[in-house]
Structure 1
Amino acid sequence: MVTCGSDTSGSVPLGVGIVGMGGIGRMHARALAELGDRARLVAFSGGATADVVGGAVRLAPHDVIARPDVDVVAICTPSGTHAALALAALEAGRHVVVEKPLALDVGDALRVADAARERGLTVSMISQRRLEAEHVALKRALDDGALGELRFAMTHVHWFRDGDYYRAAGWRSTAAQGGGSLMNQGVHNVDLLRWMCGPVESVTAQSGTLAHAIEAEDTTVATLRFASGALGVVTTTTATPPGFPATIALFGSRGSVELGQGEVRRWDVPGVPEPGTGAIASGAADPLAIGHAGHLAQWTRIVDALETSSPVPVGVDDALETVRLLCAIQTAAATGAVVRPADLGRTRQSQPGPQL
């Protein structure tokens, strides 16, 4: 087995270190456990039970990164630390798997991308919803022209989080650390929409804090103009009890589709049968209800890629473009201006790097 492209003996499993063993980190650990002898968790930071981590050792975050038998660092910490930890891991010669989003700032995301290229290492952002059967089928139908010319696209993430959720982890309440309904809850559907529909030319947006005593927004509404000419709408909120499954819908000149989470709500695509769906739970009211099946699917592809020196799924440049779109929506909401995602990050050389 090839370890990070450096060991061609075929005998050593990929060594993984998880930085941040909260609820999401435990999903990564469970996924790794199901990969058998292809990968193993060797070190982690944070708290966890023995049934999750097995024989892995608990260390400080930077000791996990520095440990010699760690080939890949999985970053499962609060969003505001992602870029700094990714840079530290790359500088230590490790491949990186990072939970969404790659960074909170386009300049930081560009620095991570530059570091990965300079060192010949890979970065894969967890975007497991791209791998769900219905999303794969919709992407294929769109790319094959089965929907015709795309005219309108929308995604809605109308979830609910109570006060206890925000009190349990202070970063969730602050925009500077990646809190808020857009960057924390809406990120996967924003990523899905961009992946399916292509580059976004311009953005307008509004946001507000409507239901919670927090600094970050809990509701954002954005309009998008795609480079193709199609228009789009993104709405995210944690202020709508009891919480509803996230949806994505595309409308073309020949057909239209609306998907929920693990649900095909409408499939009107001439000549293309409705796809099956997996047993995907919704995080509408519980952030950990989604399970680890999606993480297992992406980890399987990551290990495949590292074993064959092929591109990892949702690589650093792809992840960077999702950060551009998220930041464009935030900037548009803060300024009231029309924002072009492509314009963001042009002055990164003069900006300081991310800090832990």
Structure 2
Amino acid sequence: MINVAIVGAGNISPAHIKGFLEFPQRCKIVAICDIYKEKAAEKKKRFGLNDAIVYENYKEILKMEDVDVVDICTPPYTHANIAVDSLNAGKNVIVEKPMAASLEECDKMLEASRKNKKLLSVISQNRFRTQFMKLKKVVESGLAGDIVHAQVDSFWWRDHSYYDLWWRGTWEKEGGGCTLNHAIHHIDMLIWLLGMPEEVQAVMNNVAHDNAEVEDISIAILKYKNGALAQITSSVVHHGEEQQIVLQGKKARISVPWRVYASVASNNGFPAGRDEKLEKEIQDYYDSIDETRYEGHTPQLDDVLKALELNRDVLVKGEDGRNALELITAIYKAASTRQVVKLPIEKYDPFYTVSGIMASVPHFYEKKTFVENFSDERITFGRDIK
């Protein structure tokens, strides 16, 4: 039995708790912690965690010898300290996205993981969704040809009041705006599908949330070593929240949501119709790939449990979380400096540290008011609301 402690009982914690509860024969939640102890107590009651001990200081959990995994569901600026302390205490760690607030903090977490020989996994639950798993395999099959362009639309919508929460909308505590905390899922997907680019250009602004220092929209252009280009729009100002990743291969277009289109040309190079044979071949291959058993956070938590049970690597490692943060940091640097940013970002770069980022990024508005907690913690998606 793998014993789990949840640190952070806010909006995202139910997704983790429900995920672990899918495997009652393999794991048990033995502690839950939050600086607002009543929130931890409420989650204990709501999910029937009768044997779980409630704490308000995560360091109490680290004294528990029977805790195998610390699952961090706190705001981004706290991730590194909690993770490093947990790893040094001999615990395995799962941490919500983003991995940390800076590359410096990521590297401290990775070093603690290596030094203590403990697992470190960063939540990237969309990698485990059926449509992305299938798209990944289609890309790897080569049926669509080399990918020459990617279009990433990470369109979310959040009302003005979203940034009233005390830690949101600040560079210091949230680490950034929609690029870091919303588009990170799609950015992680892009890296998983195509790898890291070599150059980044970007612009960003805050167009609808004057209670936040951070951006609510950014647009980035990426250049890969093989010449391929990609564009990423990160937003919390898009009504309806339509999201997609479109990959243009030399032979065909493929995407999530799934669609395949293969053009054929006339002798003058203009489109003359569709290559239905190739489209069918790609579609048949896509349909032959098994669907994933679980959705949401559950499959990634299952993967972590399997890694501990079988002494193997997790599918999403700490290095994957760092890669996503490095690309996002490059977007912030490019948008702030109005310059082309080359990857990787080195340790001497001002954007490597939290203090350097704080001194370099624009503060679009001053955050003047805040609330400690929302009474409604539900996470809803506009595309699902009829």
Asked whether the two chains share a fold, i.e. TM above 0.5, the reply is yes
Judge conservation of contact 2:201–2:331 (CA < 8 Å) in 1.
Answer: yes
Shift of 1:227: 2.8
Distance 1:221 1:175 in 2: 19
Q: Which residue of 2 aligns with 1:220?
A: 218
1:128 aligned to 115, 119, 125, which one? 125
Partners of 1:337 and 1:122 in 2: CA distance: 37
Task: Provide TM-score, normalisation by structure 1.
Answer: 0.85
The one of 157, 163, 167 aligned to 1:171? 167
Per the normalisation by structure 2, the TM-score is 0.79
Whether 1:51 aligns to 2:46 is yes
Deviation for aligned residue 1:245: 2.7
Aligned pairs for 1:16-35 (under 5 A) are: 16-35=4-23
How many equivalent residue pairs?
Answer: 324
Cross-structure match for 1:273: 283
Structure 1 residues 278 and 29: CA distance shift in structure 2, 3 A: farther
Q: Per-residue displacement from partner, 1:100-148 (whole Å, max 9, x unpaired)? A: 1111211111111111111111111110101111111111111121121
1:160 CA drift (Å): 0.9
Aligned-residue offset at 1:246: 1.8
Please report how far the alpha carbon of residue 174 of structure 1 lies from its aligned counterpart in structure 2 after TM superposition: 1.0
AA aligned opposite 1:171 = W
Work out the CA distance in 2 between the residues paired with 1:147 and 1:133: 19
Distance 1:321 1:66 in 2: 32
Structure-1 residue corresponding to 2:94: 97
Shift of 1:351: 6.6
What residue is the counterpart of 1:327 in the other structure? 329
Separation in 1, partners of 2:76, 2:307? 25
Show CA shifts across 1:304-331 (max 9, x none).
1111110012101122111111111111
1:171–1:179 contact (8 Å) kept in structure 2: no
2:64 is the alignment partner of 1:73 = no
User: Aligned partners of 2:148, 2:137: CA distance in 1, in Å?
Assistant: 17
Look at both structures and tell me which one has the larger radius of gyration over its CA atoms.
2
AA matched with 1:114: E
* Among candidates 17, 25, 28, match of residue 40 of structure 1: 28
Aligned CA distance change for structure 1 residues 293 and 142 (closer, same or farther; 3 Å) = closer
Letter matched to residue 19 of structure 1: V
Whether the aligned pair in 2 keeps the contact of 1:199 and 1:227 (CA below 8 Å) is: no
Distance 1:24 1:15, change over 3 A: same
Q: Supply the distance in 2 between the matched residues of 1:146 and 1:51 (Cα, whole angstroms).
A: 48
- Contact (CA 8 Å) 1:104, 1:327: kept in 2 or not? no
- Distance in 1 (alpha carbons) for counterparts of 2:151 and 2:136: 14
Partner secondary structure for residue 149 of structure 2: strand
- Structure 1 residue 228: Cα displacement: 3.1
- Distance between the aligned counterparts of 1:255 and 1:211, measured in 2? 37
Whole-Å separation in 2 of the counterparts to 1:337 and 1:98: 32
Match runs of 1:297-312 below 5 Å: 297-312=299-314
Unaligned runs of 5+ in 2: 263-277, 356-386
Does the CA contact (< 8 Å) of 1:41 and 1:53 recur in 2? Answer: no
Q: Matches of 1:228 and 1:346 in 2, distance apart?
A: 27
Q: Structure 1 unaligned segments of length 5 or more: list them.
A: 1-12, 281-291
For 2:207, the equivalent position in structure 1 comes to 210
